[in-house]
Amino acid sequence: MKKLLFTIFTLSISALAVAQAPTDTTAMRQVTIESIEVLPEAVKVRGMLLLNKEVQYELEGAVDNMYNFKYERAEKQFKSLRRRYPEHPLPHFLMGLSQWWKIVPTNIQTTKYDNLFFAYMDTTIQKAEKMYEQDDKNVEAAFFLAAAYGFTGRLHSERSNWRKATVASKRSLEYMERAKAGNGLSPEFLFGEALFNYYAVWIHENYSMLRPVLMFFPDGDKRLGLKQLRYVANTGFYTGTESKFFLMKIYANEEGNMNEALRISQDLALKYPDNAYFQRYYARLLFVQGHFTRAERISEDILSKLYQQMPGYEAVSGRYASYILAYIHQNKYHDLEKAKKYYQDAIMYAEISNERDSGYFINSYLNLARIANQQKDKAVAKRYYNIVLQASEKKSASYKEAKKYLKENRRS
């Protein structure tokens, strides 16, 4: 159930919920007509802050700073915008989004930013509701309402606040539907629908028990969703990065297109080199595809930034980087002492982040056991294999290896 709610909330997010005045209106119109068959009807664009180019130019550096985890710089600019537009939801939403990206690097585990995040999203909703009450055809207001409720619902789902999550999700979907009238104004407006198109089908394909629930939602189109996400990723001013973020994960986890996932992750990591999440994802994709030299360099950089206590570099990133370096030193350089040190670090970071059930935690102990056996230290090997046995699922290869070793060396 949590997976369903999480996905639905993600779909209903309009991400940054901000729009860029299209530079190629012909291309935009073609994508809108062919992809979603929605055109703006009597939409008032004059005075819409989302389409204000001066604001876009002003915020471009701020948004980049946010994604590069330079939160203080970004928030200073967001607050400056808030002083000039105190009644508009945009600056409040961006301040909330900045809190969200402080939570993301911890795999959504940290709760120390929750109160501030919810406060900014609540203020966004209040400001947008006031705009919507004055004009129920205000797609800008509807877009912010869909986005703020979507992010609110998503975090409530992560915190298992199911009632609040359900209410926020329902409202987000309602306002996303009303905001469709603005789909022809900018690529940003396609983002929420693109995610919905993809994941509505993905849930149907992967969670058969949830199919009855999907009867209450519109039909999706997975191929179209990917096409729309690619379009927003290539042309979106504000939501381009969010689209790349989801495309990277979709290609890696759902589509099995590791080359495309690697290409996108490289773009993100190079543009935002101090974004711990993008950097560790890039390192992982390099590692699993055998690009050990680059994976080693990125992993060392991650640990260096973690030691410097740079924003966003937490135990989760340490676990990824330490395991990658351990494996490389074990299998490429055959430096078993360094490998053991890095495996032990990976275990430490997994324990700090309460991720003892992760593959990196189990495989770190598994490789430590192998190294101990290779060094003819069977007592240590047995100790590590016992931990693997307890932490692994019974049908897994690691469980079978540990059980076999312990059985064969019972008396030694």
Structure confidence at residue 162 (pLDDT): 86
Task: For the chain, give the percent of residues with pLDDT over 90.
Answer: 63
With 70 as the cut, is the pLDDT of residue 318 above it? yes
* pLDDT (mean) for 299-328: 97
Task: Give long-range contacts, CB 8 A cutoff, 24+ apart: 338-342.
Answer: 339/367, 339/371, 340/368, 340/371
For tokens 């609040």, name the residue.
Answer: 164
Examine the pLDDT at 2 and tell me if it is beyond 50: no
DSSP codes, 185-236: T-GGGGHHHHHHHHHHHHHHHH-GGGHHHHTTS----HHHHHHHHHHHHHH-
pLDDT of residue 219: 61
Q: Average pLDDT for residues 172-199, to the nearest whole number?
A: 79
pLDDT category of residue 166 using cuts at 50, 70 and 90: confident
74-129 confidence digits (pLDDT tens):
999 999 999 999 999 999 999 999 999 999 999 999 999 999 999 999 999 999 99
**Do 355 and 320 contact (CB within 8 A), yes or no?**
no
pLDDT band at 7 (very low <50, low <70, confident <90, very high): very low
Full-model pTM: 0.85
- pLDDT of 289 reads 96
Please write the tens of the pLDDT for every residue from 226-251: 999 999 899 887 788 989 999 999 99
pLDDT at residue 294 in the model: 98
Structure confidence at residue 343 as a pLDDT band (50, 70, 90)? very high
Map tokens 């004059």 to a residue. Answer: 46
pLDDT of residue 49: 86
- Please, which residues have CB within 8 angstroms of residue 204's CB and are 6 or more apart in sequence? 210, 211, 214, 220
Q: What pLDDT was estimated at residue 18?
A: 28
Give CA–CA dist 230/313, Å, rounded: 29
Mean pLDDT of 373-393: 96
Per-residue pLDDT of 123-165, as tens digits, reads 999 999 999 999 999 999 998 998 899 889 889 988 989 889 8
**Can you give the pLDDT at residue 44?**
61
Sign of the Cα pseudo-torsion (238, 69, 2, 142, in order):
negative
- Show the domains of the chain with their CATH numbers: 2-224 (1.25.40)
Q: Would the pLDDT of 6 be above 90?
A: no
Q: What does the pLDDT read at residue 341?
A: 98
Tell me how far apart the alpha carbons of residues 192 and 14 are, in angstroms, rounded to a whole number: 5
What CA dihedral angle connects 276, 273, 347 and 378, to 10 degrees?
A: 160
Tokens of 261: 């996932």
- State the distance between the two ends of the chain, measured CA to CA, in whole angstroms: 47
Apex 196 CA angle, 193 and 202, nearest 5: 150
- Tens digit of pLDDT for each residue in 17-74? 222 222 232 222 233 323 333 434 445 666 788 778 889 888 999 999 999 999 999 9
What residues contact 175, with CB distance under 8 A and at least 6 apart? 142, 143, 145, 146, 149
> Given the structure tokens 């990206």, which residue do they identify?
101
CA neighbours closer than 13 Å in the CB half-sphere of residue 19: 28
Q: What is the pLDDT of residue 376?
A: 96
pLDDT band, very low/low/confident/very high, at 206 (cuts 50, 70, 90): low
- Residue at 235: amino acid letter: T
Distance CA 234, CA 91 (A): 24
| DSSP code at position 253 | I
